[in-house]
Amino acid sequence: MADDKEAAAFVSEVHKRISNAFDVFDHEFNHTVDVREIGTIIRSLGCFPTEAELHDIIAEVEEEEPTGYIRFEKFLPTMTKVLMEHKFRPIPDDLLLQAFEVLDQQKRGYLEPEELSKYLMQEGETFTQEEMEEMLSAALDPDKNVIFYKDFVGMMTIDDTQ
């Protein structure tokens, strides 16, 4: 039936997308990637997993005896399922904005870099120093030296090339 053909074609397309993303990190051309790159690969395919969710996936695709490398044969079926089931969906803008507003207790419309850093580096799945610096360099208003989070969220979302 036409539908079945469509479905099959769709799955094949998903496979190719996963394969392309995987290949970017397959430095030795042997269909394996360093386990540390799995997060980047999954996220580049449009998913928004937490670190914990990422660890679960890795546990699923790792070898019986972890080698530090993930093979494509194991990665493909798991990742296909993730994409087909639309797991780890993007975060709606308003929810994100609310998250920032929670931090902005005084409702000033902005956050100081120190307070944001403190929060993100101590709570949740903490940022490393490097991650924090990178985020600040993008988020900080150069004149006022604060983060206008509403603008920041808006800017980053437009940037989305998907």
Partner 1 sequence: MRAALLIQRWYRQYAARLEIRRRCTWSIFQSIEYAGEQDQIKLYNFFGYLMDHFTPASSERKMISHLFCESEVFHDTEWERYFCYKDIEVPDTYSGPHLTFPLCTHNVTELLEAIKHKQLLHSRYVLQLLGETWKLLRVLPNINVVSTCQSKEITICGDLHGHLEDLLLVFYKNGLPSTETPYVFNGDFVDRGKDSMEILLILFSFQLLYPSGVHLNRGNHEDHIVNLRYGFTKEVLGKYKVHGKRILKLLQKIFSQLPLATVIDRKVLVLHGGISDTTDLRLIARLERHRYVSALRPPKRQPREEPCMPGGGLSEGKRGCSGNGERRRVRSLARGTLPLCLPRANSTRTVEEELQERRRWAGLGASCDRVRYLSSNRDPDQDREVTETDMDEWKQLVDVLWSDPMPQDGCVPNKVRGGGCYWGPDVTRDVLQRHKLQLLIRSHECKQDGYEFCHDRRVLTIFSASNYYEVDSNRGAYVQLGPDLNPHLIQYQASRSSRDLTLRQSVGRTERSALQALREQLFAHKSELINAFQEFDPEHTGMISMRHWAVATETVLHLGLPWRMLRSQLLVSQGGAQEGMLNYRDWFRELTFTDPNNRLAHTGLLETMYRHHSNLETIFRIIDMDHSGLISFEEFRQTWRLLSAHLQTEISDEAISGLASSIDFNKDGSIDINEFMEAFRLVSRVRSQEGGRVNRGTPP
Closest alpha carbon to 116 in 103, 99, 125: 103
Cα gap 70→39, rounded to integer Å: 12
* Contacting partner 1 within 66-95 (CB under 8 A): 90-91, 95
- Please check whether residue 97 is in contact with residue 150, taking contact to mean a CB–CB distance below 8 angstroms: yes
The correct pick among 8, 11, 27, 109 for binding partner 1 (CB under 8 A) is 27
Report if residue 34 touches partner 1, rule: CB under 8 A: no
C-alpha 47/C-alpha 136 separation (Å) is 23
- Per rule CB under 8 A, is residue 119 in the interface with partner 1? yes
Residue of the chain from 33, 70, 75, 100 that contacts partner 1 (CB under 8 A): 100
Residue type for position 40: T
CB of 90 or CB of 113, closer to partner 1: 90
Nearest residue (CB) to partner 1, 59 versus 95? 95
125 binds partner 1 (CB under 8 A): yes
- Please tell me the distance from the alpha carbon of residue 3 to that of residue 9, in angstroms, as a whole number: 10
Q: How far apart are CA 71 and CA 61, in angstroms?
A: 8
Residue 106 interacts with partner 1 (CB under 8 A): yes or no: no
28 binds partner 1 (CB under 8 A): yes
Q: For 66, left (φ over 0), alpha (ψ -120 to 50), or beta?
A: beta
Binding residue for partner 1 (CB under 8 A) from 60, 73, 112, 123?
123
Q: Is residue 89 within 8 Å of residue 48, measured between CB atoms?
A: yes
Contact positions vs partner 1 (CB under 8 A) = 9, 12-13, 16-17, 20-21, 23-25, 27-30, 39-44, 47-51, 90-91, 95-96, 98-100, 102-103, 119-120, 123-127, 131, 134-135, 137-138, 156, 159-162
